[in-house]
Amino acid sequence: MDKKVIYLGMFIGSLVGGYLPMLFGVSAFSMWSVMSGAVGGIFGIWLAYKIFN
């Protein structure tokens, strides 16, 4: 599997995960945004692995 797919999944997952708390009124620089961005990145990597493997 290509590394570009993994990086793309990580990027999109962390972008969505970091933005999700802002929908609920939490600041973009809070700990919740950082943690959800990390979880979103991990989820994006996992999803890209499952789809392309």
pLDDT in tens, 4-46: 999 999 999 999 998 988 888 888 788 888 899 999 999 999 9
Contact of 37 with 11, CB cutoff 8 Å: no
Q: Total structural domains in the chain? A: 1
Domain span holding position 35:
3-51
Mean pLDDT over 41-52 rounds to 95
Check residue 27 and give its pLDDT: 80
Separation of first and last alpha carbons in the chain: 7
pTM for this structure?
A: 0.84
Check residue 35 and give its pLDDT: 93
Q: Which two tokens stand for residue 6?
A: 């993994």
What proportions of the chain, in percent to the nearest 5, are helix, strand and coil? 80, 0, 20
Check residue 1 and give its pLDDT: 66
